[in-house]
Amino acid sequence: MHDLIIRGGTVVDGTGKASLTADVAVKDGLVVEVGKITEQAKRTMDAEGLLVTPGWVDIHTHYDGQVSWDPYMSPSSWHGVTTAVMGNCGVGFAPAHTHQREWMMELMEGVEDIPGAVLSEGVKWEWESFPEYLDAVAKTPRIMDIGAQIPHGALRVFVMGERGANREVATPDDIRSMAALAKEAISAGALGFTSSRTFVHRTKRGAAVPTLGADAQELITIARAIGETGKGVLQLISDWDDIDAEFNLVRDVTRASGRPLSYTLLQHDFLPERWRELLRRTDVARSEGMDIKAQVACRGIGMIHGLECSMQPFFLTASYQNVAHLTLAERVRELKNPLLRERILREALVAPDNRRLESITQHFHKYFPIYQSANYEPQLEDSISGIAALQGLPVAEVAYDMMLQDEGRQKFYFPLYNYAENNLDVVREMMTHPATLLGLGDAGAHCGYICDASYPTYLIKHWARERTRGAKLPIEFLVHAQTQRNARALGMFDRGALVPGMKADINIIDFEKLDLTAPQVVHDLPAGGRRLVQHAKGYVATLVNGQVVMQEGETTGALPGKLVRSAQA
């Protein structure tokens, strides 16, 4: 007798094959049969009129700290994710000597916008080495499976101390030690090794991350040691300012390791075609036998701005900084004062020295008000600039007054990347390229200005059902892209498809009701920490290892999730 049969659903099995109406049988945590099933089961779930898919595999999260205190892994569990991979972008909490813990938390606070007080109270620190970190993660039951990667930043500081944090050149002994520890981590179960080479990533104190500009030999030697295990992947983020040098490094690292490598692919406003050149070079490298892919997003990569968030159009002005410490209600009251309003608007006319910050605070043509729900493909006339033009008012004044709406809770969507000149087909082109992977949701991070853990839900509802400003995509492709394709790319061959022998990680979805709420700020982290969240509608049930963990948006209390150690057979 089967443990469970899900009957009569529209099965989109994750392999990319055409959907079909079928039953799915589960026994001992595995899918054992798909088709017309006549046998009986201990439990039956009716899925007639519903989608039945594999659970989503999110390969780009930052739950490195949250995994220590939250068995329910929200918000990813709300969005049908059954496997999450952390340790991306070269930051994390292991390995770490005891005296380095404070620095590690400052690094994560700066790079990933996770409040230091949250980390101080929430992270349990039961480890120093990376294998010890894996053991600590493994012993805690949780709602989903979790995989970890060893971050270059933590590794460098663990070996080199302050020299590593200060980005000094690693000695041959330093490099050998880092390589040996990276190899040890992969052998102990790390899914990969990650590094950051972007100027954007900064510590809480504003210092560059330890790995920015790390010597090529350092990365190549680490990669070669990882390759000796025959397991593991490599992941990095770069600014690509010197595209020749950086992509040659990617090629050298991939060649030295013999392992798959993925990098973050973005479209910048000031270099709107560079992403295509990166994909062209990727195609060439792949034709030469190198397994290089780009991680891409399923919508414009954007920030959520507002008075409740970390950023808003006037947060850099001196006069706003004078009231920034006040409660929301107190700030709204002060900001409504005409004299303060005039000072802030005057100060906002002076562009900051940082070009990137100027683009974030003053590009009102990319500021889109969020109302009952967020529109991630808005029209330019829906922006603050468009609204101001229609009203015949100065755009900064319109932005200021809109910011105070709803007692200061009004929020704005600001697409930072993949939205140059409102070219919406950029995202579609990236997603459908054969050398890309869906990721970059950053779940668990950027608590005060990014709310992209909802990517998996948005991918299905928007691209398969709702899109009106361009062509939709087949649901079979979309499901495959965030299940089997992602799982295989990280060496997890036991999940991501509803075929016999695979893990019974399953979503049952009411496709017509699948939706997202508007982003909201909650204070539910340790120490009362703030974060932006976005809830999902339409998930009838989510199963992990054959057990129902979410039903109609509520947790069931089941915690069958495990640590994923290394590649699966």
How confident is the model over 389-407, as pLDDT tens digits?
999 999 999 999 999 999 9
Q: What is the pTM of this model?
A: 0.96
- What stretches of 363-442 show up as alpha helix (H) in DSSP? 384-391, 395-403, 405-408, 425-432
Confidence (pLDDT) at 362: 82
Partner residues linked to 44 by β-bridges: 5
Say if residue 75's pLDDT is above 90. yes
How confident is the model over 374-391, as pLDDT tens digits?
899 998 999 999 999 999
How confident is the model over 486-498, as pLDDT tens digits?
999 999 999 999 9
Confidence of residue 240 (pLDDT cuts 50, 70, 90): very high
What average pLDDT does the segment 83-108 reach? 96
How far apart CA 250 and CA 261 sit, in angstroms, is: 8
Confidence of residue 350 (pLDDT cuts 50, 70, 90): confident
Set out the domains of the chain in order of their start, with CATH numbers: 56-302+420-489 (3.20.20.140), 303-414 (no CATH)
Query: Which of 494, 473, 474, 472 shows the shortest CA–CA distance to 483?
Result: 494
Confidence (pLDDT) at 567: 65
Say if residue 351's pLDDT is above 90. no
How confident is the model over 302-315, as pLDDT tens digits?
999 999 999 999 99
In this structure, what token pair is assigned to residue 212? 């920015």
What average pLDDT does the segment 330-347 reach? 97
Confidence (pLDDT) at 206: 85
Say if residue 424's pLDDT is above 90. no
How far apart CA 320 and CA 344 sit, in angstroms, is: 7
436-438/56-58 β-pairing:
unpaired
How confident is the model over 108-145, as pLDDT tens digits?
999 988 999 999 999 999 999 999 999 999 999 999 99
Asked whether the beta carbons of 75 and 458 are under 8 A apart, the reply is no
Asked whether the beta carbons of 294 and 437 are under 8 A apart, the reply is yes
- Asked which of 8-12, 419-423, 424-428, 451-455 is least confident by mean pLDDT, the reply is 419-423
Say if residue 355's pLDDT is above 70. no
Asked whether the beta carbons of 495 and 83 are under 8 A apart, the reply is yes
Confidence (pLDDT) at 568: 62
- Asked which of 306-320, 408-422, 438-452 is least confident by mean pLDDT, the reply is 408-422
How confident is the model over 253-307, as pLDDT tens digits?
999 999 999 999 999 988 999 999 999 999 999 999 999 999 999 999 999 999 9
Say if residue 569's pLDDT is above 60. no
Confidence (pLDDT) at 374: 87
